């Protein structure tokens, strides 16, 4: 009863300064939207890595990723019990046109790679065309769209790790089995690169950057990883094996300082809006000091006046918050479309919405604290005499 009454009064009060109310609500909406978007950016960064399969292991050089492993390790890894298949990949790192046109290029073992990555769907005829042409490549659908390539096109890349200019022929186009597969990769023959290296830089030949290991049961991942690594212990190239998911999370850990900064900034925006909103409430309360004193003179309690202010503040912040949450979804979609190359998934999580609501609530409550307290405390005589 009392609550409904207060809400009605609060709504009437909000309407008295339409411009101010509108501006404050817009400000809160902007803050809630940016809070939601920043959180979603951080979430999506991690989400991309968490798509990594835990049924696949990645074996790399123990020293660091910049060291390679002898390709002969493949046979030894395959003999480890529980291993279903092995393939190997090198980071090619070539430049297409210039630095700005970056896409990942992998030199793979053409015979086995696509068996281990069933989520990369290639028409069988194209796959066999790729396997029979050493200079052939298979590229993702997204790259094809971006650069307008078609099957049969020549793509030149300038090597950075592997010197020289390389020319490739597009033999196939892969699509993802679902929306969460990266369709931006450029997959070439490890053999082609290796043959060229044997002639030019023999010291770099017959090496694999990482081995991808398919295992029978994901539950055995830890045991098989340990078995692989112990097989190469105390050799010239020791290995470190982990699940694909852990491997990808390792990459993200490298930029965690930046992610932490974005997260901090997301909370700072809430603080900024708290100050703006507190200002609005303080001004409203000061202007109405005489009204509050009148209410008290009529017999309303101090707590009623406080509740009136808190009610108005909360209605304002929640209305702004709701508007912000509603705007988050179309904006997140637009952001995803604009930055398609950066993220594999971009979804607003339920937790983000809950946090947005909590922030709106907090903004409203904190903003009301000071004016509610001082209005409740003011003596009737002083209040009636107050000059605005």
For another protein, the closer CB: 154 or 165: 165
36 near another protein, rule: CB under 8 A? no
63 near another protein, rule: CB under 8 A? yes
358 near another protein, rule: CB under 8 A? no
Q: Could you tell me which of 261, 258, 266, 268 has the C-alpha nearest to residue 342?
A: 258
For another protein, the closer CB: 219 or 342: 342
SS3 379: coil
Q: Kindly report the CA angle at 340 between 339 and 342, in degrees rounded to 5?
A: 70
CB within 8 A of 347, min separation 6: which ones? 40, 43, 44, 47, 332
Number of residues in the chain: 388
Across-strand partners of 200? none
Tell me how far, at minimum, the Cβ of 99 lies from another protein, in Å: 8
339 near another protein, rule: CB under 8 A? no
**Number of chain positions touching another protein (CB under 8 A):** 57
For another protein, the closer CB: 276 or 362: 276
Among 13, 24, 90, 239, binds another protein (CB under 8 A): 24
For another protein, the closer CB: 138 or 316: 316
23 near another protein, rule: CB under 8 A? yes
Tell me how far, at minimum, the Cβ of 42 lies from another protein, in Å: 12
Query: CA–CA separation, 387 vs 286, rounded Å?
Result: 9
Query: CA–CA separation, 68 vs 60, rounded Å?
Result: 7
- x/- letters, 184..223, toward another protein (CB under 8 A): -----------------x-xx-------------------
For another protein, the closer CB: 181 or 316: 316
Tell me how far, at minimum, the Cβ of 144 lies from another protein, in Å: 26
19 near another protein, rule: CB under 8 A? yes
Tell me how far, at minimum, the Cβ of 161 lies from another protein, in Å: 5
Query: CA–CA separation, 73 vs 183, rounded Å?
Result: 29
Map tokens 């281990």 to a residue.
Answer: 116
273 near another protein, rule: CB under 8 A? yes
26 near another protein, rule: CB under 8 A? yes
72 near another protein, rule: CB under 8 A? no
Among 7, 9, 11, 30, binds another protein (CB under 8 A): 30
For another protein, the closer CB: 78 or 158: 158
Query: CA–CA separation, 149 vs 147, rounded Å?
Result: 6
- Strand extents, DSSP E, 113-180: 120-121, 136-140, 154-158, 165-176
For another protein, the closer CB: 26 or 125: 26
Query: CA–CA separation, 381 vs 30, rounded Å?
Result: 41
249 near another protein, rule: CB under 8 A? yes
Query: CA–CA separation, 377 vs 280, rounded Å?
Result: 20
Query: CA–CA separation, 332 vs 353, rounded Å?
Result: 13
Query: CA–CA separation, 68 vs 366, rounded Å?
Result: 57
SS3 51: coil
334 near another protein, rule: CB under 8 A? no
SS3 354: helix
Alpha-carbon distances of 129 from 162, 169, 347, rounded to whole Å: 25, 11, 37
Q: Which stretch binds another protein (CB under 8 A): 1-9, 48-56, 110-118, 268-276?
A: 268-276
Query: CA–CA separation, 36 vs 30, rounded Å?
Result: 10
Q: Are 375 and 289 in contact (CB under 8 A)?
A: yes
Tell me how far, at minimum, the Cβ of 345 lies from another protein, in Å: 20
Tell me how far, at minimum, the Cβ of 18 lies from another protein, in Å: 11
For another protein, the closer CB: 162 or 174: 162
- Which residues, 107 to 146, sit near another protein by CB under 8 A? none
Query: CA–CA separation, 119 vs 183, rounded Å?
Result: 10
SS3 184: coil
Residues lying near another protein in the complex (CB under 8 A) are found at: 19-20, 23-24, 26-27, 30-31, 34, 38, 62-67, 93, 95, 158-161, 163-164, 201, 203-204, 234, 236, 238, 240, 249-250, 253-258, 261-262, 265, 268-269, 271-273, 275-276, 278-280, 282-283, 287, 370, 388
């Amino acid at each position: 009863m009392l609550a409904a009454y207060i809400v009605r009064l609060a709504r009437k009060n909000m309407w008295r300064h339409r411009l101010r109310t509108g501006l404050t609500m817009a400000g809160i909406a902007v803050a809630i939207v940016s809070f939601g978007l920043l959180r979603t950016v951080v979430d999506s960064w991690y989400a991309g890595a968490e798509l990594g399969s835990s049924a696949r292991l990645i074996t790399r050089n123990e020293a660091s990723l910049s060291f390679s492993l002898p390709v002969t390790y493949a046979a030894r890894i395959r003999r480890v019990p529980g291993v279903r298949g092995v393939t190997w990949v090198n980071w090619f790192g070539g430049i297409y046109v210039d630095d700005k046109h970056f896409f990942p290029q992998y030199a793979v073992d053409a015979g086995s790679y696509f068996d281990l990555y069933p989520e990369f769907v290639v028409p069988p005829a194209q796959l066999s065309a790729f396997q029979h042409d050493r200079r052939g490549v298979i590229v993702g659908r997204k790259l094809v769209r971006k650069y307008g390539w078609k099957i049969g096109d020549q793509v030149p890349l300038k090597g950075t790790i592997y010197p020289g200019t390389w020319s490739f022929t597009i033999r196939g186009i892969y699509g993802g089995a679902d929306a969460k597969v990266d369709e931006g990769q450029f997959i070439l023959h490890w053999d082609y690169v290796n043959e060229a290296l044997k002639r030019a830089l023999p010291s770099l030949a017959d090496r694999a950057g990482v081995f991808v290991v398919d295992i029978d049961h994901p539950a055995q991942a830890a045991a098989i990883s340990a078995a692989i690594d112990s097989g190469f212990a105390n050799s010239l190239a020791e290995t470190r094996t982990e699940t694909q998911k852990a491997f990808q999370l390792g990459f993200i850990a490298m930029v965690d300082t930046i992610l932490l900064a974005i997260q901090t900034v997301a909370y700072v925006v809430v603080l900024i809006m708290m100050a703006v909103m507190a200002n609005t409430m303080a001004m409203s309360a000061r202007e109405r000091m005489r009204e509050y004193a009148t209410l008290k003179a009529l017999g309303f309690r101090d707590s009623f006046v406080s509740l009136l202010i808190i009610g108005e503040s909360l209605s304002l912040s929640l209305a702004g918050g709701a508007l912000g949450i509603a705007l988050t979804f179309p904006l997140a979609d637009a952001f995803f479309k604009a930055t398609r190359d950066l993220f594999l998934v971009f979804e607003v999580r339920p937790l983000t919405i809950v946090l947005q609501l909590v922030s709106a609530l907090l903004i409203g409550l904190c903003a009301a604290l000071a004016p509610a307290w001082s209005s409740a405390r003011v003596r009737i005589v002083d209040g009636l005499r107050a000059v605005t």
